[in-house]
Structure 1
Amino acid sequence: MNAPKERLVVIGGDAAGMSAASQARKRRPASDLEIVAFERGQHVSYSACGIPYLVAGDVAEPDALVARHPAEFLKLDIDVRLSTEVVAIDLDRRAVTVRSAAGESSLGFDQLVIATGGVPTRPEVPGSLSVGIHGVQNLEDGIRLLGYLDRHRPERAVVVGGGYIGLEMAEAMLRRGLDVTLVDASEQPMRTLDPDMGGLIADALRAEGVTLRLGERLEGFASKAGRVTAVHTTGGEIPADLVILGLGSRPSSDLARAAGIGVGTTGGIQTDRRMRTSAEGVWAAGDCVETFHLVSQRPVAIALGTHANKQGRAVGINIGGGYATFPGVVGTAVSKLCGTEVARTGLSTAEAAAAGFSAYSVTTESTTRAGYYPGARKIKTKIIAERITGRLLGAQIVGEEGAAKRIDALAVALWHGMTVEEMTSLDLSYAPPFAPVWDPVLIAARKAAEALGSNS
């Protein structure tokens, strides 16, 4: 007699969840494994990172951000159920409770993947429910924002939050011709950078015409007839026809916590290297999980589609009978504001100190191409290294071009625990249209190596 078919239930239909489902299906046919994926929204398998570029007009339509539609998963014998939210997990009964327009129901599982993503930070201040205040967490948010822009033709936008999303949405609003003000409680935008590098981003924002209100805390919103008209901060009132929230997110782990599944100090679901949770047969991946920082050796919660896809892939391979791990992260991220690119990897100076390292840093300025070649632009590179050993701990780059990809070389060096002295011999590519004979990465590494003796 054939063994009974197992059922895999996936909670969350974006990068992590659908990567897990797809990889599991590749390894186990429908006759062996039934797969049901629940998504509370109306889209699956899309690029949330592309939403700012959809709003800016670089991406022609929302559908372009969708990697796979539900019909494509149906061909793979993956049952995707949209507009259906999982509201409870019962580990004893091995079942989930789901809610849809038809009401509540229950479905059992043998294996469970939690890929609930992140919960956007919404300020609990007066007027926060006014029409015209938008987050950009998912594709539905992006579509709603586009509709609001088309219907109401706002002229003044206030972006609250100076992180990656805030920066990208500020550019999107500039591209659409709006007057843009950016508010942040920190004294600099991009607080994951050191202050000197964050200051370069502030200068770039001002040069593009963005009004900065730094060091100001959000106090509330004013509205008329239910629609936002102004933002109130500790520095005063800012008129606004549109507000975009870029305050970040936290791991969506409440469902797991309520079921008794382990949640870490970062608020993310705890997993082992294979992405297994504390509950038997329950896996987790994506923005909802806590992961391991390979440099600080501490748990972190970092929301990025790259991590979500890799983690989901590992889950699917493991469920499918293979073996895969997700070893951790080094904190690599990139963004841009119009012509200025910003990139970082590893630890900032403050993060290195908090992790217990005795660190030093060097900052160098170079050009993106050979100085004589047309179009050469300035680029600033900062390296943070450990005293005595010279081991690379982190790096930051700000420039008009080339920052985004040069950080990858530094991320690889960081991943493999290289010292700045070892990095000076890296065989990086050279041709005048792409780099000077001494690439900015090599210049920074050389300066850091030279400074090592005086910092020992």
Structure 2
Amino acid sequence: MSDPFVVVGADAAGLSAASKFRRTAPDREVVVFEKGRWISYAYCGMPYFIEGLVERMSDLLSLSPSEVDERGIDLRRGYEVVAVDPDVKRVTVETADGDRFEQPYGDLLVATGGRATTGPFDVRGLDGAFTLHDMDTAAAIDAYVAEPDEYDPERADVSAVDRDRVERNAAMAAPETAAIIGGGYVGVETAEALAERGLDVHLFHRSGHLLSDFGAAVGERVEAELTERGVTIHTNAPVDSIDGNDRIEAVAFGIGDDGTDAESLAVDMAVVGVGIRPNTELLDDTGVALGEGGAISTDEHGRTNLPDVYAAGDCATARHAVTGEEAWMPLGLTANRAGRAIGATIAGDPTPVGDIAATAVVKAFDMEAGRAGLLDEDEALEAGFDPVRETVTAGSRSGYYPGAAETDVTLVADRDTGRLLGGSIAGPDRAAVRIDTVATALEADMTVGEVERLDLAYAPPFSPVWDPILVAAKVLNGKIDG
């Protein structure tokens, strides 16, 4: 056929789009190119594999290549799309053997994801230093932290795994001390995983509290939990270098502007988790418009400014539910939802990809945390709001019912209109899932007063009469009215 739907990237957004398209338009060809061997894997599950909560790497796969084939999708692994010519609607593909060919398309989806940034650190060629952003690295870390005579190679039970890398790391003496560089999602989750594997873990973060996007109240609760579990926290402590010859030996941190006051911590493992960057190089020189974070700018249906070219997932922007402006927030649901919508649109059923509110949850041992919307005062001011915030502590269940725990809720609203702008939550008793109430309220443009009047469920095992979200809304509403 001359008008196939061509997808670049075979993970969340790409295969969601291909699958939806195939079901909706069964008579039209769909081709998915993936430059690597891994497809459709749960990136967010990798720390839990390293921790040992997930027993087999195959448990993190949503679809196998054979299952993709059964859906009627032409999946080609080891095929890298190296150029796009939007004028003639054709991509250039390079095989693992170095051969090149041209592939025409009727519609094109770029779902190339993102890659981990390492800041000033180069972890390549340094044993014991890792950046956790792919399954091969997860398998290598799992092998590295095990004693050579205790490692179970059956844990990495997927044919796509880099066996040479796994075996090399499995043969090394197990580390005792690890440095985690970056106190965001990856840093916190990896700190828990390595501590549970018996390592002495040090977590470094350049700002004053962990999980910066969640706000100070959440960061303090998470830091206290990690500290209690034996993780050493270093805040306001940017790491300046990772030192070692063939294998990591130390990290240097705390160097002042004048080069003094440097400290060195001896370690035999480091994981760098300082952020990700969208993979957009494929569209260089095409005239594609880029937006927030350097990601590919898209409209409400995932279209780029190039004809019949779409983008979704960690490489693409979407509209923010609160500001209405373009935003880049690389999260799992965003990718899956956008891919599915684009597949429907290209098949003839125009479907919006949906707004995003940066809704996210994370846990550190028994402490749960969630966030949604605008929490940063400067971001709210820049968006044209006059932010007012309140943080309250409330019980997670009726006080007399076993298991009740303190839950911290922060809500932010616009002083002039009372509109809810964002919120965060932290606590050990089912706190994280409560952030969905905030996310729903943000999508509905609700005021704090309207949130206060929500008819949320009550029964002693689940919630006090006034759910913590309602308590926070009541207090914040009083502050606005007062």
Q: TM-score range by the shorter chain?
A: over 0.9
Residue among 403, 417, 422 paired with 2:445:
417
Quick check: 1:127–1:220 contact (8 Å CA) kept in 2?
A: no
Aligned residue for 1:347? Answer: 374
Quote the offset at 1:127 in angstroms: 6.3
1:159 aligns with 2:180: yes
Quote the offset at 1:126 in angstroms: 6.3
C-alpha distance in structure 2 between counterparts of 1:244 and 1:312, whole Å: 30
1:10 aligns with 2:7: yes
C-alpha distance in structure 2 between counterparts of 1:418 and 1:443, whole Å: 16
C-alpha distance in structure 2 between counterparts of 1:60 and 1:6, whole Å: 43
Question: Which range moved further: 383-392 or 89-98?
Answer: 89-98
**How many percent of aligned residue pairs carry the same amino acid?**
38
C-alpha distance in structure 1 between counterparts of 2:177 and 2:299, whole Å: 47
C-alpha distance in structure 2 between counterparts of 1:324 and 1:141, whole Å: 36
Aligned residue for 1:197? Answer: 218
Residue among 255, 278, 294 paired with 2:282:
255
Render the CA deviation track for 1:199-252: whole Å, top value 9, x for unaligned: 22222221221111211222211114x111111222411221111111110211
Q: The residue matched to 2:29 in structure 1 has which SS?
A: strand
1:176 aligns with 2:171: no
Residue among 262, 274, 295 paired with 2:301:
274
Render the CA deviation track for 1:377-412: whole Å, top value 9, x for unaligned: 111111111113211111110101222111101111
C-alpha distance in structure 1 between counterparts of 2:137 and 2:88, whole Å: 35
Render the CA deviation track for 1:405-430: whole Å, top value 9, x for unaligned: 11101111111111111112211111
Quick check: 1:206–1:212 contact (8 Å CA) kept in 2?
A: yes
1:143 aligns with 2:139: yes
TM-score, normalised on structure 2? 0.90
Aligned residue for 1:37? Answer: 32
1:427 aligns with 2:455: yes
Quick check: 1:344–1:396 contact (8 Å CA) kept in 2?
A: yes
Which amino acid counterpart does residue 162 of structure 1 have in structure 2?
G
Question: Which range moved further: 32-41 or 278-287?
Answer: 32-41
C-alpha distance in structure 2 between counterparts of 1:127 and 1:372, whole Å: 52
Q: The residue matched to 1:266 in structure 2 has which SS?
A: helix
1:229 aligns with 2:229: no
Quick check: 2:300–2:319 contact (8 Å CA) kept in 1?
A: no
Q: The residue matched to 2:83 in structure 1 has which SS?
A: strand
Quote the offset at 1:101 in angstroms: 2.4
Question: Which range moved further: 160-169 or 213-222?
Answer: 213-222
C-alpha distance in structure 1 between counterparts of 2:239 and 2:441, whole Å: 40
1:220 aligns with 2:241: yes
Aligned residue for 2:57? Answer: 62
C-alpha distance in structure 2 between counterparts of 1:132 and 1:360, whole Å: 45
C-alpha distance in structure 1 between counterparts of 2:247 and 2:176, whole Å: 14
Quick check: 2:374–2:380 contact (8 Å CA) kept in 1?
A: yes
Quote the offset at 1:129 in angstroms: 4.1
Quote the offset at 1:12 in angstroms: 0.5
Question: Which range moved further: 199-208 or 56-65?
Answer: 199-208
Quote the offset at 1:5 in angstroms: 5.1
C-alpha distance in structure 2 between counterparts of 1:103 and 1:347, whole Å: 47
Question: Which range moved further: 289-298 or 370-379?
Answer: 289-298
What does residue range 319-330 of structure 1 map to in structure 2 within 5 Å? 319-330=346-357
Aligned length: 448
Aligned residue for 2:426? Answer: 398
C-alpha distance in structure 2 between counterparts of 1:102 and 1:389, whole Å: 61
Quick check: 2:128–2:269 contact (8 Å CA) kept in 1?
A: yes
Question: Which range moved further: 441-450 or 345-354?
Answer: 345-354
C-alpha distance in structure 2 between counterparts of 1:122 and 1:239, whole Å: 20
Quote the offset at 1:357 in angstroms: 1.2
Quick check: 1:163–1:191 contact (8 Å CA) kept in 2?
A: yes
C-alpha distance in structure 1 between counterparts of 2:327 and 2:272, whole Å: 23
Aligned residue for 1:77? Answer: 72
Consecutive unaligned residues of structure 2, counting only runs of 5 or more, are 147-169, 255-261
Aligned residue for 1:291? Answer: 318
C-alpha distance in structure 1 between counterparts of 2:353 and 2:31, whole Å: 24
Q: RMSD of the TM alignment (CA)?
A: 1.6
Aligned residue for 1:333? Answer: 360
Q: The residue matched to 2:294 in structure 1 has which SS?
A: coil
Consecutive unaligned residues of structure 1, counting only runs of 5 or more, are none
Which amino acid counterpart does residue 139 of structure 1 have in structure 2?
M
Which amino acid counterpart does residue 91 of structure 2 have in structure 1?
V
Quote the offset at 1:91 in angstroms: 1.9
Question: Which range moved further: 270-279 or 78-87?
Answer: 78-87
Q: The residue matched to 1:23 in structure 2 has which SS?
A: helix
Quote the offset at 1:368 in angstroms: 1.1
Which amino acid counterpart does residue 244 of structure 2 have in structure 1?
S
Residue among 196, 208, 214 paired with 2:229:
208
C-alpha distance in structure 2 between counterparts of 1:419 and 1:333, whole Å: 21
Quick check: 1:48–1:138 contact (8 Å CA) kept in 2?
A: yes
Aligned residue for 1:21? Answer: 18
Render the CA deviation track for 1:54-101: whole Å, top value 9, x for unaligned: 111111111111111111111122111222222211223422222232
Quote the offset at 1:154 in angstroms: 1.3
C-alpha distance in structure 1 between counterparts of 2:78 and 2:204, whole Å: 34
Which amino acid counterpart does residue 28 of structure 1 have in structure 2?
A
Which amino acid counterpart does residue 23 of structure 1 have in structure 2?
K
Quick check: 2:2–2:106 contact (8 Å CA) kept in 1?
A: no
Quick check: 1:361–1:448 contact (8 Å CA) kept in 2?
A: yes
1:448 aligns with 2:463: no
Quick check: 2:181–2:271 contact (8 Å CA) kept in 1?
A: yes
Aligned residue for 2:162? Answer: none
Residue among 118, 124, 129 paired with 2:120:
124
Q: The residue matched to 2:295 in structure 1 has which SS?
A: coil
Quote the offset at 1:194 in angstroms: 2.4
C-alpha distance in structure 2 between counterparts of 1:391 and 1:265, whole Å: 24
Quick check: 1:390–1:421 contact (8 Å CA) kept in 2?
A: yes
C-alpha distance in structure 2 between counterparts of 1:229 and 1:352, whole Å: 43
1:48 aligns with 2:75: no
Quick check: 1:365–1:380 contact (8 Å CA) kept in 2?
A: yes
Quote the offset at 1:356 in angstroms: 2.5
Quote the offset at 1:260 in angstroms: 2.2
Question: Which range moved further: 180-189 or 83-92?
Answer: 83-92
Q: The residue matched to 1:258 in structure 2 has which SS?
A: coil
